[in-house]
Amino acid sequence: MKEFTRQLLSLAVASTLICGPAFAAPRQSSQDPKDTTQPPPPPPAQSPDQKDKDAKAQPAQAQKPATDKPVDQQDSVTPKNSKEDVEAIGNRSVGKGVNFYSLEKEIALGKQLAQEVERSSKLIDDPVVTEYVNRVGQNLVRNSDARVPFTIKVIDSDQVNAFALPGGFFYVYTGLILRAQEESELAGVMAHEISHVTARHGTKTATKGDIMQLASIPAMIFIPYSWAGWGIYQGLNLAIPLTFLKFSRDQEREADFLGLQYMYKAGYDPNSYVTFFERIQADEKRRPGTIPKVFSTHPPNAERIENAQKEIARILPAKQEYIVTTSEFDTVKARLRNIMFSKKVQDSGPNKPTLRTKTEQTDKKSPDPNGNPDDDRPTLKRRPDSQP
């Protein structure tokens, strides 16, 4: 068993997400089919001295964020296959491949792992927040290739994070909701995690284990402590296997690819996914450690951002309008912020019970410098009428 565990864990490669004002104006497509204006004339030829000055200024220009202008999208695209056809979402063979888990067994496994998560986590039970997050997620699920029902809950944690277990058990962190600036950014991160489930990445990774040991897998599915003993999800302290939360680079690329399609199909601006990644990347540069520890080996790097931009331009036809944010997102975010603040005040309140350490108890026994006895210690007194 230990050898099988070691081999299976070695296959798990690090993963990452790893996520405007009310009634913000929808972002317009950068290509207007009605635009008949002529392109601007070419710039005049530059002297050698001017070229040298421009070359020296180039590094400073390269540091400009790519979010100043949305990615240029084509008015129409020609998909090479069904996987690139957003109109075929829901009727595609996403998730196919070698997998020794049936959908029923995957759901049973996910349910068991979800129980482990909820035993070691604190969930948000506010009905307004949970209903909103669930509604955003279920809208994405309806516009995805999902073949399992999704259960979406909110975990009380400051981490900018979210994760989905096999079988559609999906958890969003309060830190992610509060860090997102627009609903479309939240939707983009959620769409990425939904993609891991639709592509069945968790059980596919588990299937790559030692084939000689496969006979023991059906039994372990129904033995919680066997699975839980495989490893601890470091960023969250959850007793669930790393196998189902860390994915290969190819799987992360596929989740990016599918997630962009799902959020686009649901009506969201796919550029928001890139915007969120760029901001997280900038935060990590300013304050190392911002990215959750479990994602630190595979951060949202420039290559991943560039790939997402290319896919937006290549496979997603331009729309005149996108959903960027809603007034409800701002309302829920403000409500959640108040909930988190109230909990912090309660945790630091004067009436909160405290535990006295052994050292404090020992120090308490020492006599008072002024000769006054410790009021907390019981004292024995002889009755006045007692005889010696």
Summarised one tens digit per residue, pLDDT across range 63-87 is: 334 445 778 787 778 888 888 999 9
Residue 290 has pLDDT above 50, yes or no: yes
Most confidently predicted of 271-285, 289-303, 344-358: 271-285
Nearest to 320 by CA among 70, 65, 66, 135: 70
276-290 mean pLDDT? 80
264-279 mean pLDDT? 93
Residue 340 lies in a domain: yes
Q: What is the pLDDT of residue 98?
A: 85
295-304 mean pLDDT? 63
- Please indicate whether residue 250 or residue 103 has the higher confidence score (pLDDT): 103
Q: What is the pLDDT of residue 376?
A: 57
Residue 126 lies in a domain: yes
Residue 199 lies in a domain: yes
Taking the CA atoms of residue 176, residue 180, residue 182 and residue 187 in that order, the dihedral angle to the nearest 10 degrees is -40
61's tokens: 């220009």
Range of the domain at 293: 2-22+71-344
308-332 mean pLDDT? 93
Residue 59 lies in a domain: no
Residue 186 has pLDDT above 70, yes or no: yes
Q: Domain count of the chain? A: 1
CB proximity list for 12: less than 8 A, separation 6 or greater: 205, 242, 243, 246, 247
Q: What is the pLDDT of residue 354?
A: 62
Q: What is the pLDDT of residue 8?
A: 38
- Please indicate whether residue 346 or residue 262 has the higher confidence score (pLDDT): 262
- pLDDT band at 386; cut points 50, 70, 90: low
Q: In what order do the strands lie in the sheet with 169-173?
A: 151-155, 169-173, 162-165
Residue 326 has pLDDT above 60, yes or no: yes
- Please indicate whether residue 247 or residue 375 has the higher confidence score (pLDDT): 247
The H or E element spanning position 152 is: strand 151-155
Residue 129 lies in a domain: yes
Residue 194 lies in a domain: yes
Residue 202 lies in a domain: yes
Compute the distance between CA of residue 245 and CA of residue 234 in angstroms, rounded to an integer. 11
Q: What is the pLDDT of residue 71?
A: 80
Taking the CA atoms of residue 330, residue 332, residue 337 and residue 338 in that order, the dihedral angle to the nearest 10 degrees is 120
- pLDDT band at 18; cut points 50, 70, 90: very low
Residue 382 lies in a domain: no
Mean pLDDT of the chain: 74
Instruction: Work out the number of other CB atoms within 10 angstroms of the CB of residue 354.
Output: 6
What's the pTM? 0.66
